[in-house]
Amino acid sequence: MTSFQGALWAQLGLALIAVLAAVVADDRRRNLAVGLSTAGLGVAGCVTGVAALTGAGDALGVDTAVPGLPLGVWATPLGGLFTLLAGCVAVVASLYGIGYARGPAATRTAWSAYAVFVLGLQLVPLAADVFTFLLAWEVMAVGSTVLVLAEHRLRATVRQAGLWYAVMTHLSFLLIAAGFGILAQRAGGVQFSAMAAAHPGGTNASVAFVLLVLGFGAKAGVVPLHVWLPRAHPEAPSHVSALMSAVMVKMGVFGIIVTTTLLLPDGPTWWALLLLALALPSAVYGILHAAVASDLKRLLAYSTTENVGLILAAVGLAQLTKDSAGGVASTAMSAALLLTISHAAFKAVLFLAAGSILHATGERDLDRLGGLARQMPITTIAFGIGALGAAALPVTGGFIAEWVLLQSLIHADARTDRLTTALLPAVMGVVALTAGLALLTFTKAFGIATLARPRSAGAQTAHEGPASMRVALLAMAAAVLGLGAAPGATAGVVDRIIPGALASHGVAGLSLPTVDASLDPIALMLLGVVLSLPIVVVVVLLAMRVPRVHVELGWGCGGVRTSPRMQYTATSYAEPLVRIFGDALAPTRDVQVTQAGDSAHAIEAMSFNQRVSDVVEDRLYRPVVRLLRALGDAARTIQNGSIHRYVAFSFAALVAVLVGVLR
């Protein structure tokens, strides 16, 4: 038995142990028992991922009761990377859940679903055939759906989120199954290796490509299939939100990469343009909504749509330039993998930090937070590091990944047509725009939540969470910095998947041989220190010269101190952006004025409420929902309670199916 096979059996065993612990353990010990078991499951996933990265070609098959449909997994470098990511984030999220989970999130059902969810996440990238892939995909989907609905008794919004998520998940499953079905029919088998060797082409290949891209895109949260994401992520328990955003949406990215590089690698140019047509609006639309959101977890969810858009833009660029000289395509695909890795790290720490804030204050609304830096210093530090990564600032993994993406765009040599040549500057402009908006978004999120004065009683009495939560936060924050300070280690991982695209100089240095570019984060840090040193010296000298004088406010127009009401809020901070992009955001405002007495100029109180709705949901999905409800109401006319009529309907349906099959 190889290390890959042994780690796989360990995963299955630990998942079973975790489910049994969830069922058997009492309420006091359940969090610890299942949390440690699923953390062990995550470690086993890490071992499996490393074994797949280093020992490609290993496989394991298990016969089933259905002839011709065995369960099979195989070790590929790409699958190993995604399994490794799933395992690493699962370890941290499980440890975090020990201290975080309470109430509905700590029940037998919730913890059992969590173990199933983690197992599904780790098996999807290893599937060797369609049957195994769809089974693991459904295990992942069912486990996550149960977790999204964990707190359905507390808030009506949870039930709505669960319904949207379930519908979009099953739509994704159907599209993927249909796409795989077309390819399997052409290949004469369900093995991915056979499907790749068949080299399908023509209309069938194009239909399969569109179905697979839309199916995987729905899971990844690309616009316009993203509507479940800003609903489900905020309502799920925060350690589950971290797994969903950092890992689960990446399974959609994994599927698209497998489709474009293994199953259908020789498509026409319009396939790449389709990817870019989904990616670029997703990046801009996602970060725009994140920038104006006041709900912290909703902000992070929309940010995930933006990050997935950038990843798919890199994949689309790789497909667009695959026939060009210079190896730009391999650099672009490397950027996609680096973006995937860095996003898994910083988005996990951001959701975990948001969970710590929610755990301590009971608030997700940024307008009701503030002043957390004093009460929650560890959470603030971790949140700040995650925000740096999300804004792609030095020295974090996000900065390295976007630098590689920009290098591939700058050196792209598309020798196809004028449309393609003209499209590359537009892609670069979108990347630059999203980078600027991401900086604004996370400046707002970090500053409004942690600085200034508390705006609610919950923020005033906030405190750090248990030790397991703090350890998990610091571990993920260290990963964000480590990916940026030592990208050479990550380059070695990517080189196993795309040989020759990245090269490392020691641990810190990174170079791109195909485009003749290099970066050394340590040197960049030292340069920043050297450039900022004179400013620091001047500030210190001025501070030493200024005498310490205590100044009292003599007259402040009746005011003594500023109050939280006088500070910037998330809503006011984003107001200029709402005005500029009003057509895309479609805000609605409600201003209520209470007058004092009969005078129109004497105002006793004033309230302002602004809601930024999802235009895609309102204008695309809502009409469809209304139509389906109308059809459902109309169908009730035949639901009269007559068993004889129902049997007749069933018989008629059976006859119709038989006629269709016999034809």
The answer to whether residue 221 sits within a structural domain is: no
What's the Rg (C-alpha) of the chain? 27
Nearest to 431 by CA among 578, 305, 314: 314
pLDDT at 8: 86
The answer to whether residue 525 sits within a structural domain is: yes
Q: Can you read off the two tokens belonging to residue 177? A: 């199954």
Three-state DSSP class for 608? Answer: strand
The answer to whether residue 647 sits within a structural domain is: no
pLDDT at 235: 93
pLDDT at 59: 66
Q: Does position 524 have pLDDT exceeding 70, yes or no?
A: no
Q: Does position 65 have pLDDT exceeding 60, yes or no?
A: no
The answer to whether residue 556 sits within a structural domain is: no
pLDDT at 207: 93
Three-state DSSP class for 278? Answer: helix
pLDDT at 328: 83
516 conformational bin, left if phi > 0, alpha if psi -120 to 50, beta if neither:
left
pLDDT at 547: 63
pLDDT at 538: 82
Please indicate, yes or no, whether residues 622 and 534 belong to a single structural domain of this protein. Answer: no
Please indicate, yes or no, whether residues 536 and 627 belong to a single structural domain of this protein. Answer: no
Provide mean pLDDT across the span 7-27: 91
Please indicate, yes or no, whether residues 522 and 375 belong to a single structural domain of this protein. Answer: yes
User: Which pLDDT tens digit goes with each residue over 343-363?
Assistant: 999 999 999 999 999 999 999
Please indicate, yes or no, whether residues 503 and 612 belong to a single structural domain of this protein. Answer: no
Please indicate, yes or no, whether residues 142 and 288 belong to a single structural domain of this protein. Answer: no
Q: Can you read off the two tokens belonging to residue 198? A: 């068949």
Please indicate, yes or no, whether residues 236 and 317 belong to a single structural domain of this protein. Answer: no
Using pLDDT thresholds of 50, 70 and 90, give the confidence band for residue 525: low
The answer to whether residue 355 sits within a structural domain is: yes
User: Which pLDDT tens digit goes with each residue over 129-159?
Assistant: 899 999 999 999 999 999 999 988 888 889 9
Please indicate, yes or no, whether residues 389 and 451 belong to a single structural domain of this protein. Answer: yes
Nearest to 234 by CA among 179, 182, 290: 290
For 291, the domain range is 270-541
The answer to whether residue 183 sits within a structural domain is: no
Using pLDDT thresholds of 50, 70 and 90, give the confidence band for residue 439: very high
Please indicate, yes or no, whether residues 248 and 275 belong to a single structural domain of this protein. Answer: no
Q: How many domains does the chain have?
A: 3
Please indicate, yes or no, whether residues 480 and 625 belong to a single structural domain of this protein. Answer: no
Contact 54, 4 (CB under 8 A): no
Three-state DSSP class for 401? Answer: helix
Range name among 492-506, 516-530, 534-548, 620-634 with the lowest pLDDT average:
516-530
Provide mean pLDDT across the span 468-485: 93
Please indicate, yes or no, whether residues 500 and 419 belong to a single structural domain of this protein. Answer: yes
Please indicate, yes or no, whether residues 528 and 621 belong to a single structural domain of this protein. Answer: no
The answer to whether residue 140 sits within a structural domain is: yes
The answer to whether residue 651 sits within a structural domain is: no
Range name among 143-157, 241-255, 339-353, 553-567 with the lowest pLDDT average:
553-567
Please indicate, yes or no, whether residues 243 and 343 belong to a single structural domain of this protein. Answer: no
Q: Which residue has the higher pLDDT, 217 or 26?
A: 217
Q: What percent of the chain has pLDDT over 90?
A: 48
